[in-house]
Structure 1
Amino acid sequence: MGVQAPRPKDRRQTGRATDDSSGRPVPRPESALDAVDLHLLELLQTEGRITLSELGRRVNLSPAAVGERVRRLEADGTVTGYAAQVAPARLGYGIQAFVRVSPHARVTVKYLRSQELVHRPEILEVHHVIGEDCWVFKIAARDTTHLEELIELISALGRTTTSVILSSPVTRNVLLPPPPP
């Protein structure tokens, strides 16, 4: 979810290392993130619209130096994008739910009929998981009738189990590297 961070056109601009086979950025080891990088990641996750000037003030660097660090974090894949968080209820979606799917034989989310489903705006997230079920959908519905319609569409993939979300006391925490063991 969210908008992908723009990738530089020329890898020489960022000095990033790439994987020889795919051309994708090679992630830096956690140890390559210094205290300033970690502080920047925390600020970007909590205040996504913060200016480079304000970021620089908070980490004691010039806006140009902060801009270079942020570009490097984007280029190496640490920062994957920026997005506005919206309230589904304000857009007319009064119900959110998790729908777990145990698919029919050989049916996956890559199945052609599934692709139409996952591109619907009501499908907020899709996760491939290990466990009793194979897929978990997070959906938003206008009302119970709409919820029933969405569950019926998803059930074409397999057996479903639905959990309606009553509240979400934790919606997004700041993610930083785990502490060393």
Structure 2
Amino acid sequence: MDSIDRKILAELQREGRISVTELGERVGLSLSPCHRRVRALEEARVINGYRATVDPSKVGLNFSAIVFVTLQQVSGAQVIDFEAALPRIPEIVQAERLFGDPDYMLQIVTRDLATFQKLYDEHLLALPSVQRLTSTLVMKTVIARRPLPL
């Protein structure tokens, strides 16, 4: 990966729907070489996809919480089972495995507190190998989905 690839990635992070022609102009390449580089970045899975960024409040998702998870034991099978269960809960929009205690951090979005409580009681507590859940409510999002610093 060279400086032009990094410029391409930076531009695509800022504006994913940019045309390859405009992208090439911004990074100093003609159409064909720019297209080849974008394709190579996609094939190498440096670019994992393209998506729209949706404002949660505009679609009725007005509640956000961070849930810290401590597992009973951090053994191979328990980690595999726990992580396999997470994608089945669509309200989990981000999940991170952490060093130390707690073991995981989950970012959750729901319509409201009552919906979060139901999700917590019926799904989060039922996740495999959970020893303890600790929640904190998000007051305000200050930085969301910032592009990577390339």
Q: Above 0.5 in TM-score? A: yes
Describe how 1:108-123 pairs up with structure 2 within 5 A. 108=78, 110-111=80-81, 115=85, 118-123=87-92
Report runs of 4+ in structure 1 exceeding 4 Å deviation.
Answer: none
Tell me how far apart the structure 2 counterparts of residues 49 and 103 of structure 1 sit (CA, whole Å).
41
Of residues 59, 71, 77 in structure 2, which corresponds to 1:91?
A: 59
Higher relative contact order by CA 8 Å / sep ≥ 6: 1 or 2? 2
| Other-structure match for 1:151 | 120
Does residue 138 (structure 1) correspond to residue 107 (structure 2)? The answer is: yes
Backbone CA RMSD of aligned residues = 2.2
| Other-structure match for 2:145 | 172
| Other-structure match for 1:11 | none
Of residues 44, 47, 52 in structure 2, which corresponds to 1:76?
A: 44
Tell me whether 51-60 or 120-129 shows the greater mean CA deviation.
120-129
> What letter matches 1:168 in structure 2?
T
Unaligned runs of 5+ in 2: none
| Other-structure match for 1:26 | none
Change (3 A) 1:148 1:108: farther
Unaligned runs of 5+ in 1: 1-32
Change (3 A) 1:124 1:72: same
| Alpha-carbon offset, residue 96 of structure 1 | 0.9
Tell me how far apart the structure 2 counterparts of residues 151 and 168 of structure 1 sit (CA, whole Å).
21
Does residue 128 (structure 1) correspond to residue 97 (structure 2)? The answer is: yes
C-alpha contact (below 8 Å) 1:101/1:155 kept by paired residues: no
Higher helix fraction: Structure 1 or Structure 2? 2
| Alpha-carbon offset, residue 52 of structure 1 | 0.2
> What letter matches 1:98 in structure 2?
I
Residue identity (%) = 31
Of residues 129, 132, 136 in structure 2, which corresponds to 1:163?
A: 136
The total of aligned residue pairs comes to 144
> What letter matches 2:27 in structure 1?
V
